[in-house]
Structure 1
Amino acid sequence: MCGSLRRELGFWDAVSVGLGAVIGAGIFVVVGLAAGVAGAGVVLAVVLAGFSAVFTGLSFAELGAALPRSGGVYEYGRSLLHPALGFLMGWSWVSGNIVLGATASLSFGYYLESAFPWFSHVAGAVLLIALVTLVNVVGVRVSASVNNVLVAGKVLVLLVFAALGVLSMDPGHFSGMTSASLSSLAAAAGLFYFAYIGFPRISTMAEEVVDPERNIPRAILVTLVLSMGLYVGVVVAAVGLVGSDALASSTAPIAVAAERLGIKGLVEAGALLATGSVVLTSAMGQSRVFYAMARNGEIPERLARVSERFGTPVNSILLSGVIMLVLVLTVDLSGLASFTSFSVLLTHVFTNLAALRLDRREVSVDYSLRGVPVHAFIGLALSLVLSLSLGTRTLVAGGVNVALALAWFYGYRLLRGRAHGLRV
């Protein structure tokens, strides 16, 4: 039997969930991969990825106000496009975010192992997943409070790094910034989009946000503006301190730049906070999409059960934790950043398409120009371009994931229909 979720998140809690999801492994790790593609042009790639996210964020803001339901992209596709497309959007979003959560937990483990060599990075990742799963089960209010502390800590660390770095940088490191080709900038932006993909997590929590029609749109846009400003400052500082080649050759690029300032330990502590909050909010978001799918009978309905004691979808939270745990223990996640970006960009293509289908005579939040949702057209185009720039192997893996989603949707519907027929 399905239960109702509790509305316990205010505006700043929603912003904190967004920042907790956005600022994580992307800025601490993926910036190095993007620098390897675009060189000093990584600064422009960060801005390009951010602009793409902002246009799509406007569509999310409209949809979040019009359809404030748990599940986010899944509900938008299901309500405005087609149930199969909605399921595909939910499946793709969860796929990308589960990989993101598992990758972030391993990053946490590596930073922990760096500080305490006797502690295995795998054990650190497992411990983090167990802790965030427990926190999520206990209640959304507890999860939000823990996340608020983690977000405040990591933002403060990055602000200190950016401020000190800008004062000490070498302008010569930016000499090749404008010589990067458009194709390399697009590919780097597509990779760095990984660092922005957490902002829709706010919409997955819609049924737990107070006054969602007002708070969800504002929280999404504030999250994106703050994240983009912080990212640009951090990347400018990092490139200016050590150059794009040094960033590209390191698995911990921001830590390498911080070492030049003598604050490597502080940045490593910030990385622990950042990856911890990403895994925490990842479990929050995934479980709400599972909850919404189960409520609609598209996955086992027991996943929609809400604990009377905690007010959380416990079974969905446990499933999210188990899947991340299995990935950490069995799969090499080092090359899956592009798959995560593709999966989420695919959902953003369809989200912008859903925004085009909104009846704008009835929406309470409307960012169209004279009734024309220009932002949705631009967001759709940029999301599509960035997704197609991620390489053949990523596109093939994404295509396989799409086929699996559709096979589940129609196969489970058929089996469920037969089961109900037998009962009748």
Structure 2
Amino acid sequence: MSSQGTEPKLRRELTLIDAISVGLGAIIGAGIFVVIGLAAGLAGPAVVLSVVIAGISATFTALSFCELGASLPKAGGVYEYGHTLLHPLVGFVMGWIWVSGNIVLGATASLSFGFYLASAFPWVDPKLGAVALIATVTVVNILGAKLSAGVNNVIVAGKVLALVVFVLVGLSSVNPVHFQNFMPGGFGSVVTAAALFYFAYIGFPRISTMAEEIVEPEKNIPRGILAALFISMAIYVAVAVVAVGLVGYEALASSTAPIATAAEQLGVKAVVEAGALLATFSVVLTSVMGQSRVFFAMARNREIPSSLARVSEKFGTPVNSILLSGAIMLVLALTVDISGLASLTSFSVLFTHMLTNIAAIKLHGIGSPKKSYAIKRVPLHAYIGAVLSLALALSLGAATILAGLLNLALSITWFYFYKAFSKNQG
């Protein structure tokens, strides 16, 4: 483990391609392969519009992440931004809630992997598939960030290719009839679906959590975030149009593997199933990668047990943090309903995105960021991102909001009790 008396640090060895791939690995997963069905059930054919609204909202916040990631290139992402620019308590709350949401995201993706595996091989139990995936990605993460990134690069290429094949083969078979009665639930349902589908975009901040391991972070973090987000948005819109146009929104809403259901009409179901397996694999892989770095940053600041900040001298990874991430994810995958998981994840991440935008506003107040997207020195993107994030979070329903607020209260309780406990011990 890392030597005593020095601050634990991670190896800076990930390139721009690695950063983009981490973003795509985190973004393209359960959202398009599973949550698109839940969103279609709310918005009808206008789910295509929901996909666009969610993407636009994510873009404003992504610009804030670009500035913050370039200016504060340390492990921990949102945790580091809140801790440095707002207040240690706010930073801890942001890190806690972000990790909660992303652990839930990983659990959801692992279950999605199980469902698609069972779709291809009916004799496989979906939860067994989820367990096997979590165990595998935990081991890969322990073996090194560069190895994890390399595995992820290959998987990302495969899943993007599968979605491109689906779109190209399916375009000529799109039936305009399926877009009649475009907005059956009204615009409010479209916004609610957008809030839920925001789940499909939330992977782009994963790049910022790896900031301490990315070479030339001032350049490569903003480039990686924006490239990953815009590539994902283009793919999502195309897939949504083709999927609705092939089978209609009702069929998507009633399926646990909606894109595979649409692909069956084209005779390319096997290709999509393979793409879904690769997609969910990479989401879980990068989920563990991101969560563990936030745990690492928290432990380095002695806000959770310091053993979680230990870095393996052999692998250069925070092994204990990785094991904790995998263990919590495994418990959730085995115990919680997938629809509830997706909604709570969206709320958690939207809440931290609101605070991240506030941190970006504060960054502009104390000096020029490394890369400014402000108009006349006013960070409009951050103000808009904060408002949109809050609005989408509040549209997710009372039960989800209550669960999110309870998690917020739990994070504050931990912060003060652990601080008092550590003081008494020291």
If the TM-score is normalised by the length of the shorter chain, which range does it land in? over 0.9
Tell me the CA shift for residue 178 of structure 1.
5.1
Q: Does 1:254 align with 2:255?
A: no
Tell me the CA shift for residue 417 of structure 1.
1.4
Alignment map for 1:3-402 (pairs within 5 Å): 3-177=8-182, 181-359=186-364, 361-402=367-408
Distance 1:120 1:97 in 2: 24
1:37 aligned partner, one-letter code: L
1:88-138 C-alpha deviation (Å, 9 max, x unpaired): 110111001101111111111222222223332222111111110110000
Return the match for 1:404 from 392, 404, 410: 410
Structure 1 residue runs of 5 or longer lacking an equivalent are: none
2:407 aligned partner, one-letter code: N
Distance 2:94 2:134 in 1: 25
SS state at 2:265 partner: helix
2:158 aligned partner, one-letter code: G
1:214-243 C-alpha deviation (Å, 9 max, x unpaired): 100110011111010000000000011111
Distance 1:332 1:242 in 2: 26
Tell me the CA shift for residue 332 of structure 1.
3.2
2:162 aligned partner, one-letter code: V
1:373 aligned partner, one-letter code: P
**Contact 1:191/1:337 (<8 A) preserved:** yes
1:414 aligned partner, one-letter code: A
Distance 1:177 1:163 in 2: 23
Tell me the CA shift for residue 8 of structure 1.
1.0
**TM-score normalised according to structure 1 size:** 0.97
**% identity of equivalent residues:** 66
1:171-220 C-alpha deviation (Å, 9 max, x unpaired): 12112225652311110000000100111000000000000011001100
2:36 aligned partner, one-letter code: V
Distance 2:333 2:38 in 1: 21
**TM-score normalised according to structure 2 size:** 0.97
1:332-377 C-alpha deviation (Å, 9 max, x unpaired): 3442210000000000000001110013643210000010101011
**Contact 1:43/1:177 (<8 A) preserved:** no
**Contact 2:364/2:379 (<8 A) preserved:** no
**Contact 2:98/2:348 (<8 A) preserved:** yes
Distance 2:329 2:364 in 1: 38
Bigger shift: residues 359-368 or 295-304? 359-368
1:64 aligned partner, one-letter code: G
Bigger shift: residues 105-114 or 176-185? 176-185
1:282 aligned partner, one-letter code: S
SS state at 1:362 partner: coil
Tell me the C-alpha RMSD between the 2 structures.
Answer: 1.2
